[in-house]
Amino acid sequence: MRKTITWVLLAAMLLSAVALAIPVGAADALYIQDVQAEYFTTPPTIDGYISMQEWGYSTFSVESANAATISSGEPVDNTFFYWRPGYGTEDKTMSYEVWLRWDANYFYVGVKVNDLDGHSLKGGKGNTWNGDSMQIWVDYLGANSLVGGNTYVPGMGPTPWKYADQVPDFLVGYPQIVGGFIEMYENNRKISMTEQQSAAKGIAKVAVAPAGLNYSTDTANGISTYEVAIPWNYIFYTEQDLVTLDPQSSAQDSAWGGLDRQLGVSMVVFNGEPGTPGYSNYLAWGSGICGSQYDEASATCGGSNLVTLVGDAVTPEPGYQTYDPANLEKFERDYSGIDTGVYYDYLGGDTARQNPLTSKDQLTTLTYDNDDDRQYWGSDAFQGLTKDSGDPEHGMVLDYTDPNVVQTYIDTSIDAENGYNYPLSYTMEFDIMFLGTFDGNEEDGTADKDPAVFNWFGGSTGYDYECGYYFSDSQFKIQASDTRGEEGKAVATADFKMEMNTWYNWRFVFDNGSCTARLYINDQPIFDEDLWNRYFYYSSDNHQKDGTLMLWRMFNTAFQMDNVRIYNAEGPKPDPNKDEEQGDNNNNNIGGGGSNTASGTEDLDVSKVYKDEDGNFRLPVYVTSFYKLATSLSFDVTMNPDAATLDSISGLNEGTYTVEDKGDGKYLITIKDFTQVREMNVGDLFFEIVIKPASDSIQASDLGLKLSANYKYTVATGDAMIYIGLAAIVMAIGCVVVYKKRKSFVR
């Protein structure tokens, strides 16, 4: 398996190494490990399976039992193990085995991880680290060279990698989005090496076989495998020249890699706990990648480890086991449920998607028949005028013809603490008529803004996008709108002649499940389906937790708007003949054909129960948009009868409710008068259930509390129900809509 390379090849490689800047003294640095990467005489098959016959003996292994932890006073073999507070003891052990190889074209990394709890990775790109994944930093100048010297002393420098932005940061994972796909992403330069590769740099070869996948014996036995071939151009990306990769090249043709080249490498393998976002623990070889290590255990940071490229040859044996890497790719674009079937009325307040509607006609529609309708776009700043369009079909419309309006948009954010009003997937539909364009001016910062109307929406970390119409180009576009040098880079374009004084129906669909952002004009898709980029999804923690941004803005464009709807839709449609009282499998009753009511049942959070100064427990109930629209509302309360009894209700006006003791710790609270809740805002304290404990020793955990709400409300349809729609948005869900006339452009 191992052979000594011929002296001719060795001499050639030694000559090529003379011109390489090889750090001196790195092997003598404190704490770091010194390992060797052997030479692949024949490239391996990057298929997500690593065997002895193909890769030879592993280079090293890492085990949590032998690694430094937060309590360590110094590096232990320059490894570190970290688990996040609150995770179980099963996450407090971890191990993996690593193979390092090289040839003229690639630096190879193979990793097999004992991943007994299965695979979990909810995001990609810059968030690939936030679950089961691998992250590698490679310093081509050598171990710790970018801290001003090859010896890193813990506590003496700001970080083990002082100039980390000059070091490639490779993220490798298998995001579980749209069935799953393989990802390799260079995080410092924002290069998607598996999706948007640079042909000049070469194409990274990547295969990730997650534990639990029915792919190989390894994956069936709880092994996750990462198999990666990184082109040398990505590692040497601070150099000006590029080297064209040649699959026939031999070691003596190598320009970047070469015999005795010394690299500085740190590696982290993350473990995600299935069913939860983020990682539960990680095991690092080298340091500097994870902020938690530096923040909580800086004494364990020893910087990068030393990897030397050696001439010991590895030749894969004939007939070694291979797999079809195509079987790893489960990515499927399934659009069957987009904008069809069941509708959820976000404009009407159903952001929790509790009340399915069977027709678009049942959705709340904003028609601008009243001046107050403009408040949805921002009540404290100048807005377009509500005026008669002269068109019997549209009647009153929202008119933006004043050139002093710098920009206008719906902003779904509430505030920094509470996040966003709308879920991760949504559709915004409206009618729009363009009346012309005008020039911006220097004073308000619009002189350099092309006439356009577009939706600004967030993608994965670091990337935001615009999707709309740009008059200067007569095109619909999806283009990058970020601060990393990619602004204005078009992802997709479509030529389209937007006629003035003509009404168009726009429908923008953002679906976080299929990773698509789609635009329809008069029900016709603007872009070819093949152009949809799988990375149009919300991967940041805030977006996943709270919802999404939805910003429609315009620059130097005059137009009118009418008939706004905001909703989500999915299929298939429920049976229209289904009995409303029977409900569906989710306990959400569905209105029958022609019905104007909807109903639902939901379990409420009981974790906020607390003990008051009188020794009683109090369980707060907060106002939701459904309670404000309810025509029927009740609450089922269950508790351990041996631990406590329901004492009273605090906060509700006398005579507006009833309480029924149903026995065995079960109670029914029924709201009889809705005047009080109608006057409250979503999130306000509605009332508190006062619970009397059987003794002073009873704790909240002894109560066995359960609380659920049951409600019905009238579905808002057409102009007659516009007031309810506005109440649901302006008063109920507390949407803060920001419109400001600014001196300069601010996103």
pLDDT at 149: 54
What is the DSSP pairing of strand 557-570 with strand 342-345? antiparallel
Same domain, 111 and 175: yes
* Percent of the chain predicted with pLDDT > 90: 29
Q: Is the pLDDT of residue 352 over 80?
A: no
pLDDT at 637: 95
pLDDT at 548: 58
Q: Residue 108 falls within a domain, yes or no?
A: yes
pLDDT at 605: 83
Convert the pLDDT of each residue in 574-614 to its tens digit.
554 443 333 332 223 222 223 345 566 778 888 889 998 89
Convert the pLDDT of each residue in 699-708 to its tens digit.
999 999 999 9
Q: Is the pLDDT of residue 650 over 90?
A: yes
Q: Is the pLDDT of residue 95 over 90?
A: yes
pLDDT at 330: 62
Using CA atoms, how far apart are residues 288 and 10, in angstroms rounded to an integer? 34
pLDDT at 14: 33
Stated pTM of the model: 0.55
Convert the pLDDT of each residue in 225-246 to its tens digit.
999 999 888 888 766 556 655 5
For 83: left if phi > 0, alpha if psi spans -120 to 50, otherwise beta; the answer is: beta
Same domain, 545 and 416: yes
Using CA atoms, how far apart are residues 703 and 638, in angstroms rounded to an integer? 9
Q: Which two tokens stand for residue 75?
A: 């590096």
- Which of 305-319, 467-481, 676-690, 707-721 shows the lowest mean pLDDT across its residues? 707-721
Same domain, 409 and 486: yes
Between 31 and 561, the higher pLDDT residue: 561
Q: Is the pLDDT of residue 135 over 80?
A: yes
Q: Which of 461, 554, 567, 463 is nearest to 511 (CA)?
A: 567
3-state secondary structure 353-364: CCCCECCHHHCC
pLDDT at 56: 96
Using CA atoms, how far apart are residues 457 and 412, in angstroms rounded to an integer? 11
Q: Residue 11 falls within a domain, yes or no?
A: yes
Residue 104 near residue 249, CB atoms below 8 Å: yes
HSE, CB side, 13 Å, CA atoms: give it for residue 35.
23
Q: Is the pLDDT of residue 617 over 80?
A: yes
Between 352 and 390, the higher pLDDT residue: 390
Q: Which two tokens stand for residue 271?
A: 């473990």
pLDDT at 350: 85
Same domain, 529 and 672: no
* Percent of the chain predicted with pLDDT > 70: 68
Q: Residue 589 falls within a domain, yes or no?
A: no
pLDDT at 694: 95
pLDDT at 128: 86
pLDDT at 30: 63
Same domain, 452 and 410: yes
| Number of domains into which the chain is organized | 3
Same domain, 364 and 378: yes
Q: At residue 282, what are phi and psi to the nearest 5 degrees?
A: -145, 160
pLDDT at 390: 86
Instruction: Give the number of other CB atoms < 10 A from CB of residue 746.
Output: 9
Q: Does an H or E element contain 722, and which? A: helix 722-726
SS3 of residue 329 by DSSP: coil
- Which of 286-295, 667-676, 694-703 shows the lowest mean pLDDT across its residues? 286-295
pLDDT at 399: 86
Using CA atoms, how far apart are residues 560 and 44, in angstroms rounded to an integer? 61
Using CA atoms, how far apart are residues 459 and 540, in angstroms rounded to an integer? 9
Q: Is the pLDDT of residue 339 over 70?
A: no
Give the DSSP per-residue string, 492-546. Answer: EEEE----TT-EEEEEEEEETTTTEEEEEETTEESS-GGG--TT-S--SHHHHHH
Q: What is the dihedral of CA 135, 141, 143, 144, to 10 degrees?
A: -90
HSE, CB side, 13 Å, CA atoms: give it for residue 581.
0
Same domain, 644 and 723: no
Same domain, 726 and 701: no
Q: Can you tell me the mean pLDDT for 487-512?
A: 84
pLDDT at 420: 65
In this prediction, residue 27 has a pLDDT band, given cuts at 50, 70 and 90, of very low
For the chain, the average pLDDT equals 76
Q: Is the pLDDT of residue 125 over 60?
A: yes
Convert the pLDDT of each residue in 707-743 to its tens digit.
999 887 654 333 333 333 333 333 333 333 222 222 2
Convert the pLDDT of each residue in 12-25 to its tens digit.
333 333 333 333 33
Q: Residue 743 falls within a domain, yes or no?
A: no
Q: Residue 740 falls within a domain, yes or no?
A: no
In this prediction, residue 160 has a pLDDT band, given cuts at 50, 70 and 90, of low
For 663: left if phi > 0, alpha if psi spans -120 to 50, otherwise beta; the answer is: left
Beta strands in 73-122 (DSSP E): 79-83, 95-102, 106-114
Q: Which two tokens stand for residue 363?
A: 């959705």
34-66 b/e (C-beta count within 10 Å ≥ 16 → b):
ebebbbbeeebbbbbbbeeebbbebbbebbbee
695: domain CATH number is 2.60.40
Q: Residue 745 falls within a domain, yes or no?
A: no
- Which of 298-312, 448-462, 621-635 shows the lowest mean pLDDT across its residues? 448-462
Peptide bond into 641 cis (omega under 30): no
Q: Residue 355 falls within a domain, yes or no?
A: yes
Q: Can you tell me the mean pLDDT for 395-419?
A: 68
Residues facing 427 on adjacent strands: 509, 567
In this prediction, residue 154 has a pLDDT band, given cuts at 50, 70 and 90, of low
Q: Can you tell me the mean pLDDT for 533-543?
A: 54
Residue 102 near residue 309, CB atoms below 8 Å: yes
Same domain, 302 and 357: no
195: domain CATH number is 2.60.40.1190
Q: Which domain holds residue 470?
A: 342-577+718-732
pLDDT at 744: 22
Convert the pLDDT of each residue in 179-228 to its tens digit.
678 889 888 877 778 755 555 677 789 999 998 888 898 998 889 999 99
Query: Sign (positive/negative) of CA torsion 143, 144, 146, 150?
Result: negative
Instruction: Choose the most confident range, by mean pLDDT, from 156-170, 684-698, 729-743.
Output: 684-698
Between 305 and 149, the higher pLDDT residue: 305
pLDDT at 580: 36
pLDDT at 277: 67
In this prediction, residue 338 has a pLDDT band, given cuts at 50, 70 and 90, of low
pLDDT at 18: 31
pLDDT at 54: 97
Q: Which residues contact 217 (CB under 8 A, 6 or more apart)?
A: none
pLDDT at 412: 64
Same domain, 312 and 371: no
362: domain CATH number is 2.60.120.560
Same domain, 361 and 313: no
Using CA atoms, how far apart are residues 353 and 547, in angstroms rounded to an integer? 13
Residue type for position 26:
A
Using CA atoms, how far apart are residues 314 and 723, in angstroms rounded to an integer? 74
Using CA atoms, how far apart are residues 306 and 285, in angstroms rounded to an integer? 11
Same domain, 551 and 642: no
Q: Residue 584 falls within a domain, yes or no?
A: no
What is the DSSP pairing of strand 95-102 with strand 34-40? parallel
